Structure 1
Amino acid sequence: MSKPPAGAPKIRPGKAVPPRRSAGGLGDRRQRARAPLLFLCVAFAVLFSGLGVWQVERLFWKLDLIARVDARIHAEPIPAPGPQSFTAPPTGESEYRRVELDGQFLNDRETLVQAVTEQGGGFWVVTPFITNRGFVVLVNRGFVPPERRAPDSRADGQIEGPTRLIGLMRLTEPGGGFLRENDPAADRWYSRDVAAITEARGLDKLVAVAPYFVDADAAPMAGGFPVGGLTVVGFSNNHLIYALTWFALAALCIGGFVVVWRRRV
């Protein structure tokens, strides 16, 4: 082995000293971390307060709505609202209220509205009911299958004369059904549109017509048709699942914040 030349500095063995971090390099990392940290803060606020808390509020609102509707359905029937209330359209607070009517059906002016029920596809039989109080209410008497759409095929169920009925007050269904519009000229109906049916049957030329309709209850019917009492009262209530999902995503934002914060130093 050759010796180092005379006068050369001596190199002592030892551990390599890592280069010191410059203040500028640390500052750059902190600067680059600001954007993701700000994004995670905003995302957390939106997911937690804007969505999660909002879904919790919706959950309690939905539970209260279900309780109120259930109370209406099982309450004692009240007289159906008369002409003095027709100037203002009924609201959701009126829907599913149990009401009673005295009068008689105008069977010659019934309307068949396409329906899909637990008994299959067919029609709702919507018949005007002129009350003893001098106004008309459209009554959804119930369901009939296609082979019973003609009135003479269910003649025993065509109630004549003075009648008392009980049912649930419902809000009008304007326009039509899913992707299908009502066609009054062709007498094709996909929803219980009170105003359109009233005009098509010339009921507005008789007396005042209620802006709502009534679903008849399940009172036994001679001949078995129409089948009443098929009103479906159900409310989608997935708010708790949605709330937990948003809160979980907000927790992930907290985890992401911690990771980015540690890497910035």
Structure 2
Amino acid sequence: MRPIFSALQKTATRAWSAPARAARSAQVSSKLGSIAAKYRASQFRHISQSRQLADGLNVVDHPARLVRVNKKHGPGLIILALIPIISFGLGTWQVQRLDWKTKLMAKFEDRLVKPPLPLPPRIDPDAIEEFDYRRVYATGRFRHDKEMLVGPRMHDGEDGFVVVTPLEREGQSTVLVNRGWISRKFKDQKDRPLGVLDQEVTVEGLLREPWKKNMFTPDNKPEEGKFYFPDIHQMAELSGSQPVWIEETMVPDLIESYNREAKGIPIGRAAEVNLRNNHSQYIFTWYGLSLATSIMLWMVVRKNPNEAMRRVRQNRNW
């Protein structure tokens, strides 16, 4: 009996729920119809507005424009444009410096080939410029008690000092003589031969202008006997000499130089012009930089925008 009753119950339930399902289906269909009607009305209004706009505007009269994003390069391009101009100017200035240095060295070399002049009893410091690199000779006695060491100075990779000794001339002025370089181990006078103090000697060398101190050289400490650069006026005042600087010369001889270095005898300089002349390298550097930056500037200015930098901007009246 139970199976028969269950089947009758299921049949009654299906019969009772059919009207409810039909009512719900009618409601869903009504809502979908309403949504579709609203969409069609919206589309109709959009098409109508587009047609009204098209009646008043023409694409030919108001075309789209192809524009480039970040069209202006900004201050970076200005800086890049200034570099080749400035470097070209510096290269031209170095050309002028090279011409000046070449003529100056030629003038000094012409003075070197002339026979040495006797040093006058007293020298006008203002006239030394006209005799720079002129070969001169003077006779007197070295004042080893007033010796001054300038340094440190390197010679063939070894540390040492430049020996400056006043030369006292009988009945004439005392001058400063740069006798040459000695090794650091002969810094003390007792470790090297000085010769007889009252022995008269004749010194031959080059008359030079006063030295100029650069910004990286520390100040001298004369009260401590430390001289980092040859301040001729300071040394002259300290030793009671005229501010006249003579660089003692010697014939370049490797064996003689080794012998002097071993004994602590100052090694004099060669009678030659030793001015630095690197202006040719500077000219190549500055002109090369100007050319390279000019090419870079041309590439930046002439570079076409890629596809990622292209945009089409509509006319504002569309």
1:239 corresponds, among 279, 284, 293, to: 279
Secondary structure of 1:226's counterpart equals coil
Amino acid in structure 2 at the alignment position of 1:110: E
CA distance in 2, matches of 1:193, 1:134: 22
Deviation readout 1:182-207 (Å, 9 max, x if unpaired): 21212222222222223333x1xxxx
CA distance in 2, matches of 1:60, 1:77: 28
Q: Are 1:96 and 2:137 matched, yes or no?
A: no
Q: Percent identity?
A: 28
CA distance in 1, matches of 2:94, 2:204: 37
TM-score normalised by length of structure 2: 0.58
Map of 1:215 onto structure 2: 247
Aligned CA RMSD, in angstroms, stands at 4.0
Q: Are 1:130 and 2:168 matched, yes or no?
A: yes
Which one has the largest radius of gyration?
2
Q: Are 1:118 and 2:155 matched, yes or no?
A: yes
1:141–1:243 CA distance, 2 compared to 1 (3 A): closer
Superposition pairs for residues 70-109 of structure 1, below 5 Å? Answer: 70-80=109-119, 83=122, 85-86=124-125, 88=126, 90-91=128-129, 94-109=131-146
Deviation readout 1:188-240 (Å, 9 max, x if unpaired): 22222222223333x1xxxxx33221111227899854223236953333322
Amino acid in structure 1 at the alignment position of 2:198: E
Paired residues of 2:217 and 2:229 also in contact (CA < 8 A): no
Deviation readout 1:156-187 (Å, 9 max, x if unpaired): 53463332210122333477995433212122
Superposition pairs for residues 3-152 of structure 1, below 5 Å? Answer: 22=65, 25=67, 32=72, 42-48=82-88, 50-80=89-119, 83=122, 85-86=124-125, 88=126, 90-91=128-129, 94-118=131-155, 120-132=158-170, 134-152=172-190
CA distance in 2, matches of 1:77, 1:188: 33
1:168 corresponds, among 180, 203, 206, to: 206
Q: How many residues align?
A: 234
C-alpha displacement of 1:246: 2.4
1:181 corresponds, among 199, 219, 227, to: 219
CA distance in 1, matches of 2:213, 2:77: 49
The structure in which a higher percent of residues are helix is 2
C-alpha displacement of 1:78: 1.8
Paired residues of 1:82 and 1:135 also in contact (CA < 8 A): yes
Paired residues of 2:138 and 2:204 also in contact (CA < 8 A): yes
Q: Which runs of 5+ in 2 are unaligned?
A: 1-61, 306-318
Q: Which runs of 5+ in 1 are unaligned?
A: 1-18, 204-208
